[in-house]
Structure 1
Amino acid sequence: MLLAIDAGNTNVVFALVDNGKIRARWRIATDSRRTADEYAVWLNQLLTLEGYSIGDVSDVIIATVVPRALHNLQVLASKYFKVEALIAGEAPVEWGITLDVEEPGSVGADRVVNAIAAHHLHPGDLIVIDFGTATTFDVIDYNGAYKGGIIAPGINLSLDALVMAAAKLPRIAIEAPESKSVIGRTTEDQMHVGVFWGYVAMMEGLVSRLKTEIGRSAEVLSTGGLAVLFDQHTDIFDAIAPDLTIQGLALLHERSLNN
């Protein structure tokens, strides 16, 4: 089976993939100091709980936007799974799509992998919204080319900045306000309105502008932990793909086997 690893700024996601199907997934906070041995102990326990073992993993593929985390993940693959990890975007798993932007090398691996999976699942013009440390909006054309996009502060990052900068503001949960009114009656109510509905308005406005600029009908896919929450309060999403990055990694691995 394939162990697909998506190392992001906030979390590292590990997923066990068998013939394109995700059998199990786990996440751990990103820490570039975490050693291969620490990963192995943690993973071994989780594999056992799901009825698998380290020996069931035959291949490893990694996508990372945290360069300092890569080495220990490669050591994990070689020391414990006895394989050389494939790195998304590097031979023999080059992207295989056009990065039609001014600085192709600066595009995050997760965004390219998302574009690959999105185009595979939904041919046609696409906008992919990924809720992570940052919220990214990526545009993929009907040929599967990555055309660019938008990077906005993630909602948790925005909330952290607000609470840290204003001494008297309390920490609140990321959730829809109980009242439909956008006139908050308490400090917490006002924060909920500003953070939640402000974020919804930002997404709706940016998607509208992107669709106007694309000039053709475009589907909107969302992925990331908050996609389901926001889907309940806006109609801009055509589909939710919670495992888009892992699906993209599985596709890249499959292509590498066929090359």
Structure 2
Amino acid sequence: MLLAIDAGNTNVVFALVEPGSASAGSAIKARWRIATDPRRTADEYAVWLSQLLNLEGYDRKQVTGVIIATVVPRALHNLQTLARKYFGGEPLIAGQPPVEWGMQLDVEEPHALGADRAVNMIAAHALYEGDLITIDFGTATTFDLSDFKGAYKGGIIAPGINLSLDALVTAAAKLPRIAIEAPEDTSVIGRDTVSQMHIGIYWGYIAMIEGLVARMKAEVGRPVKVIATGGLASLFEKQTDVFDHIEPDLTIQGLAMLWDRAHIGG
């Protein structure tokens, strides 16, 4: 079994994947997430992960390989140590030999592209044809454009919805902390403070998504499919038709594809 690790700014996601299944959409057997903390040691990860593996009926000895994508450089060392000490092998690091991206990065600073964004595009182009916009709802909300050849052409980085809400509540003393959820109706005229906040955060975010996607599509000038991923993607899908497909596990699928590419070709 392959252990795929996606270390983001907010959470680290661990997923157990059947090797060689990437072309079929990756058979993800189990997934777990833990808050990102660069100080967390390999031993702490191992205790937590071993218990979860056992709860799902697996043993860590069944893990035969580890691949890591991270946008948190300080977290990488302890994750590498986890792989070496507890899973008995050298992990692959997404974007580093022998698992380089294998696609053209047609931007001014290709080295600055986040690993998660590159992995998302690799998976998206394996699953869908044509020009693609990949939207990842994480700590930041990122919009990435790749053309029909799979080349990365650029994108947008916007504050994530949780980050936006935190900034609003922190800066405005009288505003309460609210849960992020879809409003009960489609009215955009709130009758009290909480409903006005829900409308501003939720419908404001949808307006941003729809507006930015429309501008990107107009600039491309060709049909473009929109692929959404990230934990909050499903929050918006019922209230907008901007998404053509939602792939919650796009990053893990991309990591599995990179692993297969390095080990079985393709």
In the TM superposition, residue 176 of structure 1 has moved relative to its aligned partner by: 1.2
Q: If the length of structure 1 is used for normalisation, what is the TM-score?
A: 0.99
- Is 1:47 matched with 2:53? yes
One-letter amino acid matched to 1:242: P
| Structure 2 alignment gaps of length 5 or more | 22-26
RMSD: 0.7
Q: What pairs with 1:35-184 in structure 2 (closer than 5 Å)?
A: 35-184=41-190
Distance, in Å, in 2 between the alignment partners of 1:11 and 1:257 is: 28
Deviations, residues 2-59 of structure 1 (Å, cap 9, x unaligned)? 0000000000000000132100000000000000000000000000000001100000
SS at match of 1:41: helix
Question: In the alignment, what sits opposite 2:205?
Answer: 199
Distance, in Å, in 2 between the alignment partners of 1:179 and 1:126 is: 31
- Is 1:11 matched with 2:11? yes
Distance, in Å, in 2 between the alignment partners of 1:228 and 1:181 is: 20
Question: In the alignment, what sits opposite 1:217?
Answer: 223
One-letter amino acid matched to 1:215: G
Question: In the alignment, what sits opposite 1:186?
Answer: 192
In the TM superposition, residue 87 of structure 1 has moved relative to its aligned partner by: 0.3
Distance, in Å, in 2 between the alignment partners of 1:165 and 1:229 is: 25
SS at match of 1:232: helix
| Structure 1 alignment gaps of length 5 or more | none
Distance, in Å, in 2 between the alignment partners of 1:254 and 1:178 is: 44
Structure number with greater CO (CA < 8 Å, separation at least 6) is 2
* Aligned match for 2:244, one of 213, 221, 238: 238
In the TM superposition, residue 229 of structure 1 has moved relative to its aligned partner by: 1.2
Distance, in Å, in 2 between the alignment partners of 1:242 and 1:147 is: 23
Identity %: 73
Distance, in Å, in 2 between the alignment partners of 1:139 and 1:108 is: 14
Distance, in Å, in 1 between the alignment partners of 2:257 and 2:171 is: 43
SS at match of 1:91: coil
Distance, in Å, in 2 between the alignment partners of 1:179 and 1:143 is: 41
The runs of at least 4 aligned residues of structure 1 exceeding 4 Å deviation read none
| Matched pairs, number | 259
In the TM superposition, residue 75 of structure 1 has moved relative to its aligned partner by: 0.2
Distance, in Å, in 1 between the alignment partners of 2:199 and 2:42 is: 43
